Amino acid sequence: MVRREFTRAFKIDAVEPVTKRGVSVVQAARDPDPAESVRRRWMRE
């Protein structure tokens, strides 16, 4: 199985609801991609 790679811009867009609008990571992760654990890791980057 090939691991998917995401651009930095995509990661920033994915965590923006959490960091700027106060949406919980769980709620943001209900969007189809990427998963909650991935968003949490990106927030630490």
pLDDT tens, N- to C-terminus, the chain (45 residues) = 888 898 999 888 888 888 888 888 887 777 666 677 777 888 888
First to last CA, the chain: 25
Block residue for tokens 């991935």: 38
pLDDT at 29: 73
pLDDT given at position 32: 60
What pLDDT is attached to residue 34? Answer: 66
Domain boundaries, the chain: 8-44
pLDDT at 8: 92
Cβ contacts of 1-6, under 8 Å, gap ≥ 24: 6/34
Query: Is cis: bond before 32, omega within 30 of 0?
Result: no
